[in-house]
Copies of this chain bind each other. A is one copy, B any other.
């Protein structure tokens, strides 16, 4: 290996280390402060300058997607799995419980989930697909007569917003969130 190769390798390793440190700091900051945690604060926690942060993650979306990639993918597979269930109402109940559980596990998830990703970004595109799958699921559950006719995808968003409030104020988040989801789903059942 030449000296130049070694220098290159060292620089790549540094870049990777910085990237990981920024991602870890961002994860913690999002959890504590929400998805709009200040960039300056994230850089400070990571021990890097904001210029370095912007070089690694040019936009807020880049950082959100990097940190929450698994969960965003998880939401989408959840709605597709629900749509594949032979009982659409059961699929819907499981999907909604899955989303509420992700919120319980990580308070920053609500902000990411409700974030408007640009429609031409990879996350934006798979969001559009997931939205389409959710609408199909809702239609299928109406067709079996399980879901009330006045329900639409906004009810799922509404429940996620409501659940965030419950998680913020609850003495016992798991129990109270479970009760909200149960109450809410009951009101959607025909």
Contacts and interface: CB of A to CB of B under 8 A. Distances in A.
A127 to B, nearest CB: 16
Contacts of A166: 158, 161-162, 165
Given A165-B163, A168-B165, A158 B184 contact: no
Interface in A138-160: 154-155, 158
Interface in A147-190: 154-155, 158, 161-170, 176, 179-180, 183-184, 186-188
Contact of A169 (B161, B176, B188): B161
A161 B155 contact: no
A16 to B, nearest CB: 35
Given A158-B179, A161-B166, A184-B184, 5 more contacts: A154-B179, A155-B183, A161-B168, A162-B166, A187-B187
